[in-house]
Chains A and B, each alone.
Chain A
């Protein structure tokens, strides 16, 4: 006895045949089917095994709340575990597999867990696997994970694309049932920009499963007519297969569109899923209500399902649930199903109504058992019979399908995502959304309204109110409904007397009634504790079906109203969201933006090895044929720069043009050293402090004309310094006439360093570059290539050699670099990268952000004399006078070398006094930079050490606790190479 396809009826295209497989067996369904409806149509009722006890499970629901029918879809990189069969559209070639069973779904050894169920109650794992603790990670957890679980994620890369997009609207309508449709129509007709989103592939919500008639037509036809009109309205956008999963600040809603989850082979240029961020002036939630399961022994046996779901399978998909059907109901809604089953010719055995006086008049053939309730179901893998308690006695019924109509819980999740708590409404026997939400209105059965007519009217009325608030007048929508079953809310049914088997509250996590009782007895009765102790509501369905019953049981155990128990917190997401959708297009090489220097291609064709520096790709070194390792290349580059010349791309340095009448004053205030008296045509090295007196950034600033300066910053702090300067100009000193613009991207900047640099540059620079004409720290606009190009030339050095930096318009950068390499060839020029640059500057004791790491003052790095004593104020001046900053135990810059030139050490290594124990109490400071100097034939480094210069010559231990390395070394002057030939330090 099982479910089957009816010979007629339903919104399926019987002319089509879609073949699919489930656990390797071939089946067929129709266009318009879900995987769930197609499985039922094929008589397949057992579709999964439960999480803990491996109990046989069937399809309970018809929508996104389905807790049982979780299957794995697809293969290879497209494998998707835990797909709800009720939400998966059928397509030709679909491959589905059941989960959490071995060796097969029908014969699952894991079901032996059920025999141990007396020991596997709530808290079992907490109590059992406590000792010995060491076994948890290696033994217990892997075993438990194997025995209990859901589907397995694939380890292959996902071949499909995902993306994110924005949408804006006046009104977002969530849900396209009766209330959503009339709301969207009302607002759309009034000219509002409307987005109507529904998680199903067809619009219409409950109307698609409804047998009532609206305006003289079948309910699905009425829905289709509404949708057709909505499609014709230019200001309305319809999003099907789109689940609104969260409500966020500024009335932005998150939604996931399953754009190509319903096709066998997704098209490569379209996304598989699209994540929508919908900024709505207002939102109307017409999200409907979820039916509550009833509690009786074996309420999880395949063949037992929700009455509304059974009605969907019957009316929408043309599937009969079984040959002999019973309905257990607490309210009138069960009678709508009874009517439809009998019309379809399905044998309805009994209506088991918990009320002694049913309020609806029923004229069908089925036996109505009043004041009755199901206590137990039988059947194992497929329902075969029921035990019913009626009039003080027990009766058995032979049935193969049972519908549960336990009343309704409004789907208020979205309304509670921003902190609002659900409110218990005694007269509706349900939790409702908090009142007076800002930017959100609810309409239809989500408010507890019952009946189609009420929902149609409520949607239209609420939309009119929203339209009026947005300044639009909207017309009424009226509809006549025939055969509307209006089920007045009834209290939930909670007598469990006579129940013998396990009555499940949370199907997916295998939480049954006794578990909740145990939680209360053991002191975990608070709703938040009970959830965690029993795991009720913690599965992938987040308790959509179970929470209402769990709360009522807790209330009953405490003897209070559900209002006092309250709910657990509703948080996004409403349904599970794939990582792909959250990631969007930002994966692989698009994970983060790539920032390229204008000399990137020049460096690439010269063989550069690139290193990521923030988002920048910087040339690290330039290996040549025959060189066997990076060190060999770097050593050569360092030696070449000091002996001849080198060319290095320094375009990534931040560059800011500063102008205005008060530009000089402005610079005087942001730098700790003076700039007002800097002559036109000169550059100066500057230190920028934070308000707390620590160094923020360094770099050179050149005065190009009286009121125009060119500032350079470090690569890392380029954006930060720009923001800092804008803050200073706009907030601290709005009275100063100063403007600034970032010109980092405008210029390609080339460092030409080494004794031959002047000779090489002179070949392309039109002006005289002699010492007299263009001395140390000269900075001027120059003409290049016989007047064909202008650039900015600076006589500054970051290597301590005679050196220049030449800035040319970025588009010409590569060409100018090519020219310099060509004319420099005879002078022995080489390209060098940031690794060599680092060695060159350490050899000279020049600092970078490795040293100025936010903890050092100018005096700490030997630049105390740079700080102006005459300026009345500059940023950092006041705090620099703190006595702590002149404490003799402050760390100060020194050089450090290993005693054995063949030894090396890492930056970050700590400095210990010779012979002292390696403890943090004995810590004397740490190395900030290190590199191999081919000139000194030794590793050299800079360090911040207590006492600084007083300790030059002292032997120390360089301690690397991470690598357990101890390197005997000596503290020395940070300037390893004394004044170079012809060059001066910057």
Chain B
């Protein structure tokens, strides 16, 4: 039976990254809101089923290997809503707190990311996603548009990846953030 002090306790969510963007005319590093991230597992052949549901619920869907996807959105606490609509054969796992999203955009985005990932970004069309390395850390990379990418990193490494991105972008930000 909850203690009165506990009931009155102010429960706060602490984002792992300070929500302050770093920008210059040619590059921007943006910590994204810790909204909803859902890992979906299921038969690879039924990708259309997953697309239909994420489209209907307003999530953005990114591939993560055969039969694995991430559905992401800016709004928090949307796990139950999507999970309830998934058809049989699919499993949804809430990773809203386990993965942190970072956007990187601007005309120099390719040069900055090339310092971390070996993926050939010129052949990595909008809509594609892959798990790669940024520095030493496994990172899920998705191309959102011509000059915008989103990174999905595990929470425990998020600060580290953010620090690495600052170093990678330093010459385009025009300042050293070390």
Q: Which residues of A contact B (CB under 8 A)?
A: 161, 163-168, 193, 268-271, 277, 279, 585-586, 590, 592-598, 601, 616, 657, 659-660, 739, 741, 743-747, 762-766, 768, 785-786, 788-789, 809-816, 819, 822-823
Contacts and interface: CB of A to CB of B under 8 A. Distances in A.
A453 to B, nearest CB: 35
Contacts of B9: 764, 785, 815, 819, 822
Interface in B56-85: none
B159 A744 contact: no
Contacts, number: 157
Given A163-B168, A743-B98, A764-B6, A279 B120 contact: yes
25 contacts: A161-B170, A164-B115, A165-B115, A269-B170, A269-B171, A269-B174, A269-B176, A279-B118, A279-B120, A590-B135, A590-B163, A593-B160, A596-B156, A596-B159, A598-B155, A659-B91, A739-B42, A743-B98, A745-B155, A746-B96, A766-B1, A768-B1, A786-B6, A788-B11, A812-B14
A585 B167 contact: yes
Contact of B114 (A165, A659, A744): A165
B2 A585 contact: no
Contact of A271 (B99, B123, B160, B171): B171
B41 interface: yes
Contacts of A268: 176
Contacts of A763: 2-3, 5-6
Nearest to A271: B171
Given A269-B174, A592-B136, A745-B98, A814 B157 contact: no
Contacts of B93: 657, 741, 743, 746
Given A741-B93, A743-B98, A809-B96, A269 B160 contact: no
A762 B1 contact: yes
Interface in B90-123: 91, 93-99, 111, 114-115, 117-118, 120, 122-123
Contacts of B11: 785, 788-789, 812, 815-816, 819
A547 B6 CA distance: 80
A585 B164 contact: yes
A744 B156 CA distance: 9
A728 B91 CA distance: 19
Contacts of B34: 811
A765 B157 CA distance: 30
Contact of B167 (A163, A167, A596): A163
A773 B35 CA distance: 35
A643 to B, nearest CB: 22
A812 B163 CA distance: 23
A316 to B, nearest CB: 31
B156 A745 contact: yes
A594 B159 contact: yes
Contacts of A660: 91
Among A601, A741, A768: residue with most chain B CB under 10 A: A741
Interface in B126-171: 135-137, 154-157, 159-160, 163-164, 167-168, 170-171
Contacts of A161: 167, 170, 176
A810 B123 CA distance: 36
Contacts of B3: 762-764, 823
Contacts of A270: 170-171
B14 A815 contact: yes
B87 interface: no
A601 B42 CA distance: 36
Among B3, B135, B157, B163: residue with most chain A CB under 10 A: B3
A270 B13 CA distance: 37
Given A741-B93, A746-B97, A811 B13 contact: yes
B7 interface: yes
B39 interface: yes
Given A595-B160, A763-B5, A785-B6, A810 B155 contact: yes
B15 interface: yes
